[in-house]
Structure 1
Amino acid sequence: MLVLQDVNVYYGAIHALKGISMEVNEGEIVTLIGSNGAGKSTSLKTISGLLRPKEGNIKFNGIDLAHVPPQKIVSLGISQVPEGRRVFTNMSVLENLELGAYLRKEKSEIKKDIEKVYSLFPRLLERKGQLAGTLSGGEQQMLAMGRALMSRPKLVLLDEPSMGLAPILVKQIFSIIQEINKTGTTVLLVEQNAHMALSIADRAYVLETGKIVLSGSANELESSEEVRKAYLGG
């Protein structure tokens, strides 16, 4: 579904991604793990068109994304849940969800999808009239995920969904990611909590200073001594 080939990205003179190649197949949960500054978020921003590669190819269902603007990438079926949630704080929960469907016209279908989001995240239904800025961190994460689903994506890019959340909420968010995947949405997950990410992923890539240094099935990487020492606390 998604293929990155020898992708190089720069921030000015800084070489942020150094020739990364990876793929995500339809129906999978694939995770990118690595320490802070390894290039995980940069990878997602490059896929969603917020950053442009200097060299290399990115193809989604055979379409070259090199010169496609971000809003067109959303209409092709890629939606991103950004790091730090980035909800519209002065708008209600419902208005945030409606904005997620801004490229769509069919009102009855949009309404159905809002109901689906509420069934995945019952807390959002309780809070639908509340300003997003008054929600807790966990509720804002749920809202950011729900908003991303409103464009009916084929592929969801999740950037650090567990950041700043209590352990009990982290478990809940990860079980919802599995739920979203079971309904047919492919997931590319960037996550500092390597243990949780590998527990739900099919495959994984390990990024270090802008390079992919390891890849394989999530089980292989979880039992790799190198990964255990560097990312799993022993």
Structure 2
Amino acid sequence: MLRVNGLNVFYGNIHALRDISFNVEEGEVVTLIGANGAGKTTTLHSISGLTPSKSGEIQFLQKSLKGVSPNQIVQLGLGQVPEGRRIFANLTVLENLEMGAYIRKDKQQVKADYENVFARFPRLKERLKQIAGTLSGGEQQMLAIGRTLMSRPKLMLMDEPSMGLAPLLVKEIFEIIKEINRGGTTILLVEQNAHMALSIAHRAYVLETGKIVLEGPAKELAQNEQVRKAYLGG
């Protein structure tokens, strides 16, 4: 579904991504783990067209994304749940969800998708008219995921969904990610909580200073001594 090949990204003189290559197959949860500054968010931003690459190839559903604008990338079926949620704080919950569906013309199916979001996140239905900026952190994360689901993504990029959440809510969010995947959405997950990420992913890649240093089935990497020492507290 997604193929990244030889990707290089610079911020000025800083070589942020160094010749990285990986792929995501349809139906998978694939996770990128690594320390702060390893290049995880830059990778997602490059895929979704927000950060230009110096060289390399990104293909989604066998179509090159070179020169494709971020809004066209969403139309192709690639949605992103951004780091820090990035909800529209001054709009209501409903207006945020409407923004997620703004590119869609299939009005009947959009209605059905609202119901799907409300079934998954009953708290959002209770707070439809509430200003999104007044929601709790967990509710804002649910809204960010719900808003992306409204664009009907085939592949969902998720950037640090557990950031700043209490442990109980982290568990809930990861259960939701598993449900979304079981419902047919492929997921590329960037996550600081390596333990949780590896527990739900099919495969994983470890990024260090802009390079992929390890890859393999998530269960195997969770047992890898190097990974355990660096990311799983021994």
- Determine if the TM-score, normalized by the shorter chain, exceeds 0.5: yes
TM-score, normalised with respect to structure 2: 0.99
| Structure 1 residues 112-166: Cα deviation after superposition (integer angstroms, max 9, x where no partner) | 1011001111110111110000000000000000000101000000000000000
Higher mean displacement: 108-117 or 169-178: 108-117
Alignment map for 1:69-84 (pairs within 5 Å): 69-84=69-84
Output the CA distance in 1 between the equivalents of 2:12 and 2:118: 42
Q: CA deviation at 1:52?
A: 1.2
Match of 2:56 in 1: 56
Match of 1:86 in 2: 86
Alignment map for 1:64-213 (pairs within 5 Å): 64-213=64-213
> What is the CA RMSD across the aligned residues, in angstroms?
0.5
| Structure 1 residues 75-121: Cα deviation after superposition (integer angstroms, max 9, x where no partner) | 00000000000000111101100110110122221111011001111
User: Secondary structure of 1:156's match?
Assistant: strand
User: Secondary structure of 1:79's match?
Assistant: strand
Higher mean displacement: 224-233 or 121-130: 121-130
User: Secondary structure of 1:75's match?
Assistant: helix
Output the CA distance in 2 between the equivalents of 1:61 and 1:14: 30
Output the CA distance in 1 between the equivalents of 2:116 and 2:69: 28
| Structure 1 residues 154-192: Cα deviation after superposition (integer angstroms, max 9, x where no partner) | 000000000000000000000000000001000000000
Match of 2:221 in 1: 221
User: Secondary structure of 1:88's match?
Assistant: coil
User: Secondary structure of 1:221's match?
Assistant: helix
Match of 1:36 in 2: 36
Residue 10 of structure 1 aligns with an amino acid whose one-letter code is F
Output the CA distance in 1 between the equivalents of 2:52 and 2:90: 31
Match of 1:8 in 2: 8
Structure 1: 4+ residue segments shifted above 2 A: none
Q: CA deviation at 1:55?
A: 0.6
Higher mean displacement: 99-108 or 67-76: 99-108
Output the CA distance in 1 between the equivalents of 2:187 and 2:121: 18
- In structure 2, the gaps of 5 or more residues are none
Residue 212 of structure 2 aligns with an amino acid whose one-letter code is I
Q: CA deviation at 1:202?
A: 0.1
Output the CA distance in 2 between the equivalents of 1:30 and 1:135: 29
Identity of aligned pairs, percent? 68
User: Secondary structure of 2:88's match?
Assistant: coil
